């Protein structure tokens, strides 16, 4: 395992929810990262953000690690969940709520409902 892969594994093991993204949760650097971070922030999910733009090895390493070609990438309890489109679909269908609840990750259920109402 490469140093980057080891670092990724340690990050997703140490945190219940991790978002590998372009930029940070407070300052996303692309629209897709902004959308996923926005959903998590609005739902008050505690998560670690990893800025792939700050580290070229991480930017490629996370794609190799997950065998997924794009960023952002969301991990919950060490499992790869998906990128922007998948997270958006899961949010709107309620699957994201279920996934978080099943993994004992706290989130604001009312906020999740508001997102669905606004996008329904």
The predicted model scores a pTM of 0.96
For residue 84, say whether it is annotated as part of any ligand binding site. no
Question: 2 falls in which pLDDT band (50, 70, 90)?
Answer: confident
Looking at the chain, how many residues does it have? 120
In contact, 92 and 84? CB cutoff 8 Å: no
Among residues 37, 42, 2, 4, which one has the least CA distance to residue 20?
A: 37
Q: How far apart are CA 113 and CA 75, in angstroms?
A: 22
Helix (H) or strand (E) holding 65, with range, is: helix 56-66
Give per-residue pLDDT as tens, 37-58: 999 999 999 999 999 999 999 9
Partners of 55 in beta bridges: none
Judged against a pLDDT cut of 90, whether residue 19 lies above it is answered with yes
Q: For domain 3-119, is the CATH number 3.40.30.10?
A: yes
| Residue bearing tokens 């997950």 | 66
Domain residue ranges in the chain: 3-119
Mean pLDDT of 14-34: 97
Q: How far apart are CA 99 and CA 86, in angstroms?
A: 13
Mean pLDDT of 94-102: 98
Give per-residue pLDDT as tens, 61-72: 999 999 999 999
């Amino acid at each position: 395992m490469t140093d980057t892969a080891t670092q990724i594994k340690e990050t997703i093991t140490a945190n219940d929810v991790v978002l590998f993204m372009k930029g940070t949760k407070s300052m996303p650097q692309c629209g897709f990262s902004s959308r996923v971070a926005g959903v998590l922030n609005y739902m008050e999910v505690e998560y670690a953000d990893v800025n792939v733009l700050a580290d070229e090895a991480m930017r490629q390493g996370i794609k190799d690690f997950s065998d997924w070609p794009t960023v952002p990438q969301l991990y919950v309890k060490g499992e790869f969940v998906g990128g922007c489109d998948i997270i958006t679909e899961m949010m709107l269908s309620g699957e994201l709520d279920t996934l978080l609840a099943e993994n004992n990750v706290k989130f604001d259920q009312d906020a999740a409902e508001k997102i669905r109402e606004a996008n329904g």
